[in-house]
Amino acid sequence: MKYISTRGQAPALDFEQVLLTGLASDGGLYVPETLPRFSHEDIIEMASMDYPQLAQRIIEPFVGDAIPAADLQQIIADTYAVFRHNAVAPLTQIGHNQWVLELFHGPTLAFKDFALQLLGRLLDYVLERRHQKVVIMGATSGDTGSAAIEGCKRCKNIDIFILHPHERVSDVQRRQMTTVTGDNIHNLAVQGNFDDCQAMVKASFGDRSFLPSDRSLVAVNSINWARIMAQIVYYFYAAVALGAPMRPVAFSVPTGNFGDIFAGYLAREMGLPVAQLIIATNRNDVLHRVMTTSTYGRQALQYSLSPSMDITVSSNFERLLFDLYDRDGDAIAALMREFEHGDVHLSDKAMGRARNLFSSYRVPDEETCAQIAATWNECEYLLDPHSAIGVKAALASGLSADIPVVTLATAHAAKFPQAITRSGINTEPALPLHLADLFDRPERFEVLPLELSAVQAFMANNLSA
């Protein structure tokens, strides 16, 4: 399998190379040159597979001959064995043809574990084989950092440095990062905000000379192709459980960077009958505005009760644009250049295609809290604020009652107690048993000034041998 850049100028890469790369050298994102297709009969066979078996079936064609099948099988088995539910991604019914796909049974209680547990293991496997070590650097406002740290904590060949804005992430989220100990794990609390942290990461990827020449820098944000790949699996898993391929299924996806929902788009391109993909956003509604006005434009960031969706730009949207523009890399490069300077108007043809499959809905905080309360009162089921946005959008979608709608529950309610309190219901979400002592565990992090040179010097001085 070959991977090509959405901007058409970077060299094509194989799976191993794409795993170790972030952005393409032309500024684009890597996508598979062709997609595997599953027939009606192939999908019928999936009904008998458990989660790891299905993951193997979906992921194998993307990996190609980069990893022998038996080794890949072991990696996948290890990855999903750390999830604390026997079904890995169980479905719960909350209304007539309304379903919730629980993606929060991994170590950090958010769906990012599905991809980052796999990514850590894939990286360690190929690095071991190449006798190579790498440095992972990332900025986080919450979920990505802890999932990346959990995914890489046992990786001998990776030093991981996660920057978070000092005193600006929630206690649960900080502790999920800072209580994981290991010589290769470094939490840097930067005296700035999330954008400052991200700017430092970006600058470091732009000039890597602060690191020794044999240590490359790897990205773990959702521009990394392997993350998207891992997320395709649970769309198939849920749809098949609800009667696909005989019955089409719709999905409602709490969306920030467009990574998760893009995996749903790929599942459909690979043959899964998906009736609709609902883009559910909070008040940071860049994607809802694209869908309703055909204009892609930044607006100022607004903090919300669903912080993991507080974004101004959805980087993975470029991957969809590439298909909507007939995979014309020059056209995408031109659009993204225009976007650097201001709003971009998308063509009627492209938007017509997008609207055939996607719909969108914007859910402000009050409606999020109202949905948490409503679902609690109707079935004593506690949604986290991100998942509540998904459920609200699913209920508002106006799909015909014979189509099952699956909302992706992207986090466990105990991660975001503030929203639960605000919704006025009389219950407190408890952390699952494996995290019950989170607030008693010792923390380790380094407070650093808002200076690129200080961060880079810390990294260079703390690499493993």
Which is nearer to ligand PLP, 74 or 315 (by Cβ)? Answer: 315
- Does residue 255 interact with ligand PLP by CB under 6 A? yes
Between 79 and 144, name the residue whose CB sits nearer to ligand PLP: 144
Question: How many residues bind to ligand PLP according to rule CB under 6 A?
Answer: 16
Q: What sections of 156-279 are H helices per DSSP?
A: 171-178, 194-206, 225-241, 259-269
Residue span binding ligand PLP (CB under 6 A) among the ranges 173-181, 256-264, 363-371, 392-400: 256-264
Q: Is residue 254 a contact residue for ligand PLP (CB under 6 A)?
A: yes
Token pair of 306 as six digits = 């669903």
| CA distances (Å), origin 367, targets 93, 139, 234, 392 | 21, 29, 27, 8
Angle between helices 225-241 and 112-130 (to 10 degrees): 130
Binding to ligand PLP by CB under 6 A, coded x per residue (else -) over 304-323, reads ----xx--------------
Q: Which two tokens stand for residue 312?
A: 């101004």
CB of 388 to ligand PLP, least distance (A): 11
Which residue among 145, 259, 271, 329 contacts ligand PLP (CB under 6 A)? Answer: 259
Burial tier of 336 (Cβ tally within 10 Å: 0-12, 13-18, 19+)? middle
Q: Considering the rule CB under 6 A, would residue 150 count as an interface residue with ligand PLP? A: no
Closest CA to 183 of 140, 219, 154: 154
Whether the ω angle into residue 245 lies within 30 degrees of 0, i.e. cis, is yes
Region near ligand PLP per CB under 6 A, out of 77-85, 158-166, 254-262, 291-299: 254-262
Q: Which is nearer to ligand PLP, 109 or 331 (CB)?
A: 109
What's the CA gap between 196 and 166, in Å, rounded? 11
- What span, in angstroms and rounded, lies between the C-alpha atoms of 120 and 131? 16
Nearer to ligand PLP, 143 or 159 (CB): 143
Closest distance of CB 133 from ligand PLP, Å: 28
User: Is position 148 an interface residue for ligand PLP (rule: CB under 6 A)?
Assistant: no
Is there a contact between 153 and 82 (Cβ–Cβ < 8 Å)?
A: no
CB of 114 to ligand PLP, least distance (A): 11
Specify the residue, 112 or 133, whose C-beta has the smaller distance to ligand PLP.
112
Report how far residue 315's alpha carbon sits from residue 331's, in angstroms, rounded to the nearest whole number.
Answer: 17
What are the CA-CA distances from residue 406 to residues 84, 326, 394, 410, 460 (Å)? 21, 29, 8, 12, 45
In this structure, the chain runs to a length of: 465
Nearest distance, CB of residue 200 and ligand PLP, angstroms:
20
CB atoms within 10 A of CB 392: 25
Judged by CB under 6 A, the residue of 260, 285, 310, 367 near ligand PLP is 260
What contacts 425, CB < 8 A, 6 or more positions away?
372, 373, 376, 377
Residue 10's φ and ψ, nearest 5 degrees, are -85, 155
- How near is the Cβ of 465 to ligand PLP at its closest, in Å? 34
From 159-167, 255-263, 324-332, 435-443, span contacting ligand PLP (CB under 6 A): 255-263
Measured from the CB atom, the residue of 289 and 444 that comes closer to ligand PLP is 289
Which is it for strands 344-345 and 185-190: parallel, antiparallel or unpaired? Answer: unpaired
What is d(CA 327, CA 332) in angstroms, rounded to the nearest whole number? 8
- Binding positions for ligand PLP, 124-143, rule CB under 6 A: 143
Binding residues among 401-430 for ligand PLP as defined by CB under 6 A? 410-411
Instruction: Say if residues 184 and 215 touch (Cβ distance below 8 Å).
Output: no
Query: Which CB atom, from 102 or from 159, has the smaller least distance to ligand PLP?
Result: 102
The residue (of 79 and 255) whose beta carbon lies closer to ligand PLP is 255
DSSP string for residues in 367-414:
HHHHHHHHHHHHHS-PPPHHHHHHHHHHHHS---TTS-EEEEE-B-GG
> Is 222 an interacting residue with respect to ligand PLP (CB under 6 A)?
yes
- Smallest distance from ligand PLP to CB 57, Å: 23
Binding mask 360-389 for ligand PLP (x = CB under 6 A): --------------------------x---
Binding window for ligand PLP (CB under 6 A); candidates: 36-44, 249-257, 265-273, 366-374 = 249-257
Should residue 256 be labelled a site residue for ligand PLP when binding is judged by CB under 6 A? yes
Please tell me whether residue 56 binds ligand PLP under the rule CB under 6 A: no
Residue 112 binds ligand PLP (CB under 6 A): yes
Residue 112 catalytic? yes
Query: Which residues are identified as catalytic?
Result: 112
Q: In the complex, which residues of this chain contact ligand PLP (CB under 6 A)?
A: 110, 112, 143, 222, 254-260, 308-309, 386, 410-411
